[in-house]
Copies of this chain bind each other. A is one copy, B any other.
Amino acid sequence: MSKPLNVGLIGYGFMARAHSNAYRTVNNFFDVPYRPVLRTVCGLVDAEAKAFAERWGYQSHTTDWKKVVEDKDVNLVDICVPNNLHAQIAIAAAEAGKAILCEKPLALNATQGQEMVAAVEKAGVPNLISFNYRRVPALTLAKQLIDEGRLGRIFHYRANFLQDWTISSEVPQGGMSTWRLDVKAAGSGVVGDLLAHCIDTALWHNGPITAVCGMTETFIKQRKHAETGKVEPVGIDDACTFFCRFGNGSLGNFESTRYARGHKALYTLEINGEKASIRWDLHDLHRLEWFDHRDESKLRGWRSIHITDVGEHPYMSHWWVPGLQIGYAETFVHQIADYLEAMDKGQPCSPTFREGLATQKVCDAVLQSAREGRWVEIPD
């Protein structure tokens, strides 16, 4: 029988919903050693925290995150609040000996991130940063193929994350649903919000990045604040492109923007190896494109693999039958399932805070490079 694991959730926004659904669902589909118990949820507005608790079945709610961290019955602290709050909560939770799940990006910057890593490593608590796309079965399969050496020497890694939701100058900054446009809450724009995903996957798939050279742009220079109504300068990057060199000798090209009309959340990636190549995109996350040069030459072509074979594809034996796709929500179920397994074995679960810090360092270097108009090396 699985053991109870009491969850204290901080935040009640979009990510809090995705995490809560995973906690409620994981034991129905996965045989894992722990059973998450929804102990408490914390949020800014009492009535909303209460409503969230009722909807999702949390036993209690609060508006003070310190109470969650100090609650002896809480085993896992889940941080689903804006980026500027990650560090203080995570450090307090580590000091209180809690396991931690923290939304990405790790922090506002690498300095903060370094403190978080130090705290969790000193406390020896389980720590995971929620780069959920690692648990898209197609990307997990891609990682297997790379690790098996099937691609041979890697020449190119290419990733984009394209959105279009801030094109209108009427979109405000700040507040509950648009804090991602407020540099004080978010730290950066597309770099921390979107490129962080691309970088995390790239480091996982293709190893360390040694140096970057980037460009950023803010297309709309000022926006109204969602709460005050005051028009203020926009401090975030609306778009960012960078190229880089990986330690394995391959070249990287990354781009993200919220001004790509027609794309909602189009995270795409492509890896070109000597022997094989891989492509994937988030708009059809249940497919992986695979080109294998070892195929008979007249029959070579890009295969569109429908990642729904229950006997073959990562995580898929837990779901339905071949041909029936999963979506976004299931990536969080996979994440918590893996975390619970690792916790039980006393092993780290990737990406740890330390791995999240590596991504943060690349993000910082990209922003610095863009400011200074030159290449920036990634510190160890």
Residues of A within 8 A of B (CB): 14, 17-18, 20-21, 24-25, 27-28, 55-56, 141, 155-156, 158, 162-165, 167, 213, 215, 217, 219, 239, 241-243, 245, 249, 251, 253, 255, 257, 259-266, 270, 272-277, 282-286, 288, 290-293, 295, 297-306, 308-309, 311-313, 319-330, 373-375
A58 to chain B, nearest CB (A): 11
Residues of B within 8 A of A276 (CB): 261-262
User: Do the beta carbons of B299 and A302 come within 8 Å of each other?
Assistant: no
Q: 9 shortest A-B CB distances, which residue pairs?
A: A265-B323, A264-B323, A262-B291, A301-B303, A301-B305, A327-B327, A264-B322, A324-B328, A298-B312
Chain B residues, Cβ within 8 Å of A21:
25, 28
Interface SS, A side: mixed
Give the chain B neighbours of A25 by CB distance below 8 A: 21, 24-25
Q: What chain B residues lie within 8 Å of A260 (beta carbons)? A: 155-156, 270, 272, 277
| Cα–Cα distance between A313 and B300 once the two chains are bound (Å) | 11
Q: How far is the CB of A290 from chain B (nearest CB, A)?
A: 6
CB contacts (< 8 Å) of A158 on chain B: these are: 255
In the bound complex, residues from chain B placing their C-beta under 8 Å from that of A330 are 327
Q: Are B261 and A277 closer than 8 Å at their CB atoms?
A: yes
Knowing A25-B21, A25-B25, A262-B272 are in contact, say whether A286-B327 is a contact too (CB < 8 A).
Answer: yes
CB distance from A101 to the nearest CB of B (A): 18
On chain B, the residues within 8 Å of A309 by CB distance are: 264, 297-298, 300
Return chain B residues, CB-CB under 8 Å to A274: 167, 261
Contact B329 A326 (CB under 8 A): yes
Which residue of B28, B253, B302, B312 is within 8 Å of A253 (Cβ)? Answer: B253
Chain B residues in 8 Å Cβ range of A326: 327-329
Q: Which residues of the other chain, B, contact A251 by a CB distance below 8 angstroms? A: 215, 217, 239, 241, 257
Please report the C-alpha to C-alpha distance between residue A24 and residue B327 in the assembled complex, in whole angstroms: 18
Within 8 Å CB of A303, what residues of B?
295, 299-303
In the complex formed, the residue of B with least CB distance to A258 is B155
| A301 to B242 CA separation, bound complex (whole angstroms) | 28
Chain B positions within 8 Å of A321 at CB level: 14, 264-265
Q: A219-B249, A286-B327 are in contact. List 14 more A-B contacts (CB 8 A).
A: A141-B298, A155-B239, A162-B272, A213-B373, A215-B251, A242-B243, A251-B257, A262-B272, A263-B323, A264-B321, A284-B325, A319-B329, A326-B328, A326-B329
> Which residues does chain B contribute within 8 Å of A18, judged by CB atoms?
320
Task: Report the minimum CB–CB distance from A23 to chain B (whole Å).
Answer: 11
- Structural contact, B14 and A27, CB atoms closer than 8 A: no
Q: How far is the CA of A311 from the CA of B264 in the complex (A)?
A: 13
